[in-house]
Amino acid sequence: MPSDARTPLQAPLGSPDGGQKRPILGVAVAQYAPGADLVENERLLREHVATAAGRGAQLVVVPEYASFFLPDLGEELVRQAQSLDGPFVSLMRSLAVEHGVAIVAGLVAESEDPGRFANTLVAVDSSGEVVAQYRKVHLYDAFGAKESDWVVPGEISVPQTFVVGGVRVGLQTCYDLRFPEVSRTLVDAGVQLIVIPAEWVRGPLKEHHWKTLLAARAIENTVYFAAADHPAPIGVGHSAVVDPRGATLAGAGVDPGVSIGWVSLDVIDAVREQNPALELRRYRVLPID
């Protein structure tokens, strides 16, 4: 059952009354199953954005492959690839303006390779402007899958970030979660909330990996995470908003739904004062190539 929460864990350490000095951002993670029906995918986006906005969210995160999805990647996804001026992003922009929210969604996007598409995240602000985009860097060539057969990897570059309600937000996609350098690079760029649309495929221990990695990345970087996955039977579900101490503030089980958590910059400050791990580190991140 998806949940919303304003728990004591969200208050600054030592402030049990939950008094906040800095803005609080409502973040929704929408867990649902996009498919091969473009009209239905647009309906699902409309429904979940409206639900999230109606419950107070200012930022809505929906899953990877939100514009089009088939469990087996292939030529049909290449044919269904859209541009940033295409109908799906146009709908994102209009919904953002209509509901006064920012939206992050996974797009099957056109690429420079005619035989492959770009697995792309698009971020739109509440004025309807595209404020960031991210091509998945680490492709899912694991657990028997070979995403790189059909997907062009993103280049290593300076992260595109954006600000919602005073909170700086960064992007990563699904399998990127298994690589700690991705999150650390975003934090080095000033990000306070990392959003991660995903299609985290079910399998032995996969749910355990998903939950553990979300908590670990939040703890080691002292930032918030907002992760939106596909539900069962294909995805593991368990979309969640996780705080800088690794606590799940709001989350879903395996069924579709919307969960809303609240991001507080006061909490980040308090956690980092107690555990200044970012200041104490002695290594930095460098790309392999």
pLDDT recorded at residue 20: 62
pLDDT recorded at residue 21: 64
Could you tell me if residue 220 is inside a domain?
A: yes
pLDDT category at 97 given cuts 50, 70, 90 is: very high
Q: What is the mean pLDDT of residues 56-79?
A: 98
Q: What is the mean pLDDT of residues 68-79?
A: 97
pLDDT higher for 7 or 195? 195
Q: What is the extent of the structural domain holding 164? A: 23-275
| Catalytic-labelled residue, pool 42, 64, 147, 199 | 64
Could you tell me if residue 65 is inside a domain?
A: yes
Mean pLDDT of the chain: 93
Could you tell me if residue 289 is inside a domain?
A: no
* DSSP string across the chain: ---B---GGGSPTT-TT---SS-EEEEEEEE----S-HHHHHHHHHHHHHHHHHTT-SEEE--TT-S---SS-SHHHHHT-B-TTSHHHHHHHHHHHHHT-EEEEEEEE--SSTT-BEEEEEEE-TTS-EEEEEE-SS----TT--GGGTBPPPPP-PPP-EEETTEEEEE--GGGGG-HHHHHHHHHTT-SEEEEE---B--TTHHHHHHHHHHHHHHHHT-EEEEE---TTTB----EEE-TTS-EEEE--SS-EEEEEEEEHHHHHHHHHH--HHHH---------
| Catalytic-labelled residue, pool 42, 136, 147, 199 | 136
Could you tell me if residue 167 is inside a domain?
A: yes
Could you tell me if residue 246 is inside a domain?
A: yes
Say yes or no to pLDDT of 12 above 50: no
CATH number (domain holding residue 149): 3.60.110.10
Contact, 198 vs 228, CB < 8 A? yes
Is 206 considered catalytic here? no
Could you tell me if residue 128 is inside a domain?
A: yes
Is 76 considered catalytic here? no
Q: How many domains are there within the chain? A: 1
pLDDT category at 17 given cuts 50, 70, 90 is: very low
Q: What is the mean pLDDT of residues 206-235?
A: 98
Q: What is the mean pLDDT of residues 170-187?
A: 98
Say yes or no to pLDDT of 7 above 70: no
Q: What is the mean pLDDT of residues 165-190?
A: 98
Could you tell me if residue 76 is inside a domain?
A: yes
Q: What is the mean pLDDT of residues 200-219?
A: 98
Contact, 239 vs 33, CB < 8 A? no
Could you tell me if residue 163 is inside a domain?
A: yes
pLDDT category at 284 given cuts 50, 70, 90 is: confident
| Catalytic-labelled residue, pool 42, 147, 174, 207 | 174
Say yes or no to pLDDT of 269 above 80: yes
Q: What is the mean pLDDT of residues 169-187?
A: 98
Is 136 considered catalytic here? yes
